[in-house]
Amino acid sequence: MRGKEVIFKLIFQIKESKMRIGRKQYILYYIALVIASTLLQLLFARAPGMLAIVILIGVVISVVLAAARFRDMDISPWFALLAIIPFVSFGLMFPKGTEGANRYGPQP
């Protein structure tokens, strides 16, 4: 699959998915992502091509997690693209999600 196809597929999945994750799940996924990303970056520090791929994968996962978190807060998942900006993903740990079901599905 080419880069353009991967991006379009990701955008479609973010738009069509109904997945919601709560704060606790998000925090655990975020911590795991940071640890795994850091270890992989240290491992591939001398291989710039692989390092770029590791960073890109980390950004993609961060956007997908942010989309699920925004859905939990009943906000459009398109705002997940803001997760590319440093500390936006970190800020998603604090607001509460919607109580009960919302237009994106049942409460996690």
Tell me: pLDDT of 14 over 60. no
| 2 inside domain | no
- pLDDT band with cut points at 50, 70 and 90 for residue 2: low
Amino acid residing at 9? K
| 62 inside domain | yes
| 29 inside domain | yes
| 65 inside domain | yes
Q: Are 90 and 66 in contact (CB under 8 A)?
A: no
| 106 inside domain | no
Q: Residue 15 has which token pair? A: 């738009």
Which residues form the domain of 52? 22-89
- What pLDDT does residue 97 have? 87
The number of distinct structural domains making up the chain is 1
Q: Please enumerate, as own/partner, the contacts of 36-44 that have beta carbons within 8 Å and a separation of 24 or more.
A: none
What global pTM score does this model have? 0.77
> What is the arithmetic mean of pLDDT over 8-24?
70
Tell me: pLDDT of 1 over 70. no
Report how far residue 74's alpha carbon sits from residue 65's, in angstroms, rounded to the nearest whole number: 14
Tell me: pLDDT of 93 over 70. yes
